[in-house]
Structure 1
Amino acid sequence: MVIEVRSPEPQATLIYPDSDGEPMADNTQQFALIVWIKENLERVYAQDPNVFVAGDLLWYPVEGNNKLRQAPDVMVAFGRTKGYRGSYQQWKEENIPPQVVFEIWSPGNRPSEMAKKLAFYQNYGVEEYYLYHPDLLDLAGWCKAEDSLHPIEEMDGWVSPRLGVRFQMAEAGLQLYRPDGEPFLTTLELEERALQAEERARQAEERAQQAESELERERQKSQAIADRLRAMGINPDDL
């Protein structure tokens, strides 16, 4: 009797979607803040190839579970190379979780939802978590100590241990400062600074050209006087 041995059926490859179907932001204010933080952090670490910064990117911490996921408004992963990712699958990233995350409170958020996010970040290795409520001008933060995220008592003036970024609250809202003390700037502010620098460079070049022209006029005048003296039989070098 011949018994036919069948090969096991191949298991379907688990798909980790790049989108959860939720919008990146609920309004222009939230979107602007997310972009502002993400773009400035990218500038801070532009020269470090091993710091990955992303906005609204799905993070899957556990292989084999595509339901367990979170999409921080902004996240920073030290020790991971820059580059394109459809999602952050932690087991493909040397099992390094994002160490720093930012969330911007939107009208659609609920306290219970934000509590779940805090629990997620604590359970899966986040070292620093910052939550800003722009409508209330309220800034909260948590920092890891003894394997747990603890509330930061005073956020005004706080300096992130990982980022070196300083948090400041002003009448206009949240202000962030780079490790070199320079403020985080919007794209428009950066463009304005670039235009101002370009104008200053143009003016400096004009001044240099004017000075060079003046020197050339003085040289020509001196040469004309010397030629006139020689025509009179006087050697100007003897004067």
Structure 2
Amino acid sequence: MVQQLVPPTTPEIIYPDSDGQPMADNTQQFQWIVLIKENLEILFADVANVFIAGDLLWYPVEGNNKIRQAPDVMVAWERPKGKRGSYKQWLEGNIPPQVVFEILSPGNYPMEMFKKLLFYQRHGVQEYYIYDPDKIYLTGFIRSGDWLEPIEEINGWVSPQLNIRFQLIENNLEIYRPDGRKFLNSVELEQLREEESQRGQQESQRAQEALAQLEAEKQRYQSLIEKLRDRGIDPEQL
């Protein structure tokens, strides 16, 4: 009796959607992640081919689920918007995120950040920004060939990929859109919407008052015409 050999099966590789690590170590780090991610979403809301995510696992190599990183914020051009459990690069046209942001917290160690720099350098990131909100310190790297080179003058720097400007002031980092508007948090955005709504209501009220005044003038003019005619005076002859 001849035994049929069964070829060995290759176990399916699972790419987890979570690395078990918290999105942020503290409220300040979380606020910065949300600020950058959400304002980029607003900035590119009408651009179909840009994918923006926060704390999403990125797997650059098919077949190896150990090679991965979860940038605080990442931007991938030429990729459609939409939901993803993770960013599997081989399913994304083999396009890596071009821009990555990391927000430092006390739990980040220099060696950890150095390893992240090497990871992003190795796997095709074009721009890499690290912000320390405790020290108000921004570091940037931009690709030059195979390397991510430090940006010498980061204050006032405009991202080539995103066209946003970074401005370090005395006690904060401010980020500006191409039209000069500043990145705002959700509370500031709501306050701005409320102010614009109030301005709109005030302008509408002023327009209504102007129309009412015009109508009153029209009625006074019509009344004057009628009085002249009652006295036998033709207004057309005046």
TM-score tier by shorter-chain length is over 0.9
1:51 aligns with 2:50: yes
Once residues 224 and 76 of structure 2 are traced to their aligned partners in structure 1, the CA distance between those partners, rounded to angstroms, is 72
Question: How many residues are aligned here?
Answer: 238
- Name the SS of the counterpart of 2:47 in structure 1: coil
- Name the SS of the counterpart of 1:154 in structure 2: coil
Task: Give matches, 1:214-225, under 5 Å.
Answer: 214-225=213-224
Once residues 85 and 31 of structure 1 are traced to their aligned partners in structure 2, the CA distance between those partners, rounded to angstroms, is 20
Q: Which amino acid aligns with 2:15?
A: Y
Task: Give matches, 1:1-239, under 5 Å.
Answer: 2-239=1-238
Q: Which amino acid aligns with 1:162?
A: Q
TM-superposed CA distance for 1:133, in Å, is 0.9
Alignment TM-score, normalising by the size of structure 2: 0.97
Give unmatched runs, 5+ long, in structure 1: none
Q: Which amino acid aligns with 1:178?
A: R
Q: Which amino acid aligns with 1:99?
A: Q
Q: Which amino acid aligns with 1:43?
A: I
Q: Deviations over 1:177-211 (max 9, x none)?
A: 11222111111111111111111111111111111
Once residues 55 and 123 of structure 2 are traced to their aligned partners in structure 1, the CA distance between those partners, rounded to angstroms, is 17
Indicate the RMSD between aligned Cα atoms, in angstroms: 1.1
- Name the SS of the counterpart of 2:83 in structure 1: coil
TM-superposed CA distance for 1:9, in Å, is 4.5
Alignment TM-score, normalising by the size of structure 1: 0.97
Q: Deviations over 1:24-80 (max 9, x none)?
A: 000000000000000111111111100111000000000011111000000000110
Q: Which amino acid aligns with 2:76?
A: A
- Of all paired residues, the percent bearing the same amino acid is 58
